[in-house]
Structures are given as structure tokens and as C-alpha cells.
Structure 1
């Protein structure tokens, strides 16, 4: 059973759609709409509800990609919308965690600083998105961060298991943040190689 790339089919020839109006893109927008619900729940100290929202966000992270491959609805918009929505959602979640005192400040720094460097690099080189494919390391990083963050919230809900959940969540988030930095270095170097290739008149194959 495939986890990464699930939903891929060998019986069709994939085409890239130019329209925004695809089912996977609508799923991405709906998922992103849960982020303000999470923020309100944390601000109101409804940690149980906030945990449920995060579990839904993490558990459905793969659905839009699965549907896109299964229904042959891969789109130009979806290829950048899904990772951007996931990244923005993650940044909002970790900032809320740190502001609320649930997580240490290094969680924000290790995610926001590499992302800021990548954004500046992309704007300088491409004046926008470099359109690089998401690699396996990036998917594993996202999975670890999406599992670790709800565990931190569970510690706020169940005080008796707080220390155990805190230790497990910190371990997963620490590994996820380390992979985040490594993935950022890989994307940074890929973007610069692509820019050099395109400037020399070559064709970028990824």
C-alpha cells in the first residue's frame, strides 16, 4: 500500500488542469478554513476542541493529493496551493502554541526562519514560486509536525499524562523541525540550480 503518492493510477495519462475549480482545490480551501477555528478554540482555552481540529487537519492532509491523483484532477493551482496552505496553517499553529505558552519559542524559529529564507530566495530568483516538487523528506517532516502538535494539546487536556505527552510531542517536533531545516536547504539549492539552468537557456527537469 502506497502512503506517499497514494491514489496514483497506472491506467490513465495524467494531465495538468489550468482551472482552480477542482475538487482537490476545494478540499484544500475547506481544510485551511479550519485554521481560524483552531485559533479561536485555543484562545478560548477549549483545548479538547482545538485538538480535534488539529487531528482533522493532520488526518486529512493527504486527501486532496489522493483525490487529485485518483480523479485525474491535478491542477497548476493545486500544485502550489496545497503546500502553501499547509505551510501557512503550520506557521499559524506554532505561533499560537508559543504565544499561548504551550510550546517553546524554538518551534517557531526553526519553522519560520527557513521558510522566510526560501520565500526571499524565490522572490529574488523567480519573482514568485519556483514550482519545485515536494520531496519525500518534506512530506515526512509535515507528518511529524502534524502528529506532534496535537500531542502537545492533549497534554493540556489530560494533566495526568501531561509529562509523557510533552516528552513524546517534543521528540516528534524536534525531529520534524530538524527535517524542516534539512528540507529547506534542499529546496534552497534546487531553486538556485533551477535558476542557473533557466538563465543558461537549458530545460529544467527537476
Structure 2
């Protein structure tokens, strides 16, 4: 069974819809709307409820991509909305775990710091997203963090407090942070290499009309 890129229809060129009103985009919006619910549940100590919210967040992150590929519902909005929602959700969830649990602060600093470098690099070089595909390391990083966060939460519950679950969650969270640095560096190098290739072909990278396949949009990192 294909996990990465699930739903891809081999041999077919996907349509890039202009409308926001696609099922994947609605799922993405609903996913991000659950983030403040998660923060509130953790803050008031409803860890099991927060755990299930995280499960929904993690599963819908895969589902919206699957639906977009399987049913040809990719959209211009979805190309920047999905990674933007993912990254903001990841930062807010990690920040919440740092404040209310044993999650290490350095993981949050790594995520935010790397994303700021990527954002500034993309803005200065391309005036927006360099439109690079998400790397396998980036997907593995996201998977590690999506598994780590619920484990950290479970380690806060009375039933599992001071057990191996807590340690496993923190270790996996740290591993996700390390992979995030690697994915960010890989994306940074690929973005700069793309800028060099465009200039070699006589194209200024900030002149997006000459190379971009999508209209100008925010530049969330895609590492």
C-alpha cells in the first residue's frame, strides 16, 4: 500500500482548480480550526480529549492530500493553504507541549528558527514559494512529530504518568526536531540551486510570471 503520495493516479495530469471550495481545502480549514480547541483542552488538563483531537489532526493531514490526489481536487489555494496550516499547527502544538508538559524547548526553537530562515530565503530569492516538492525526509519528520505529540500527551495522564510512554514521546519529539533541521537544510540548498538554474537560463527568480506554475501566494516552507 502506498503511504507517501497515496491517491496519486498514475498517468493522469491533475487539474489545478482555482476555487477554494474543494473537500480537501475544507478539511484543511477544519483541521486548523481544531488547533485552539487542542490548546484549551491541554491548558485545562483534559489530556485524553486533547489526545483524540491530535489524532484527528494527524489523520486529516493525510486524508486531505489523499482526496486531492485521488479525486483530482488539487487547487491553487490548497497548494499554499495546506503547508501553511500544517506548519502553524505544528508550531502551536509544540509550543503548547513545551508550556504544559515535558517537551524540550529546543525542539520548538529549532522548528521556528528553521522555518524563519526558509521563509526569509524564499521571500528574498523568489518573492514567494520556490515551489519545490516536499522531501521524503520532510514527510518522515512530520510523521515523527505527529506520533510524538500524542505520546507526550499520554505521558501526562494519571494512567501513564512516569512510564516509558513519556520518555518515548520526548525522544521521538527530539528526533523529529533533528529531522526538521535536516529537511530544512535540504530545502534551503535546493531552493538556492533552483535560483542559480533560473539565472543561468536568463530568468530572474523573483520574476515569478516567467517560471511559476501558480499565481503568487504566501511562501510557507515546504521542507
TM-score by length of 1: 0.92
Residue of structure 2 equivalent to 1:53? 53
Please tell me whether residue 84 in structure 1 is matched to residue 89 in structure 2. Answer: no
Once the two structures are overlaid, the 10-residue window that deviates more, 95-104 or 23-32, is 95-104
- Give yes or no for contact 2:103–2:173 (8 Å, CA) kept in 1: no
Partner SS for 1:72: coil
How far did 1:141 drift?
Answer: 0.5
How far did 1:116 drift?
Answer: 1.0
Unaligned runs of 5+ in 1: none
Partner SS for 1:162: coil
Residue of structure 1 equivalent to 2:37? 37
Residue of structure 1 equivalent to 2:220? none
Superposed CA deviations along residues 115-161 of structure 1, whole A, max 9, x for unmatched, are: 11111111111222222211111111101000000100001113545
How far did 1:38 drift?
Answer: 0.4
Q: Which has the higher helix share?
A: 1
Please tell me whether residue 174 in structure 1 is matched to residue 174 in structure 2. Answer: yes
How far did 1:40 drift?
Answer: 0.8
- Give yes or no for contact 2:101–2:152 (8 Å, CA) kept in 1: no
TM-score by length of 2: 0.85
- Give yes or no for contact 1:110–1:181 (8 Å, CA) kept in 2: yes
**Equivalent-residue separation in structure 2 for 1:28 and 1:154 (angstroms):** 25
Unaligned runs of 5+ in 2: 204-210, 214-223
**Equivalent-residue separation in structure 2 for 1:120 and 1:160 (angstroms):** 41
**Equivalent-residue separation in structure 2 for 1:17 and 1:197 (angstroms):** 28
Task: List aligned pairs for 1:107-186, cutoff 5 A.
Answer: 107-186=107-186
- Give yes or no for contact 2:51–2:154 (8 Å, CA) kept in 1: yes
Residue of structure 1 equivalent to 2:218? none
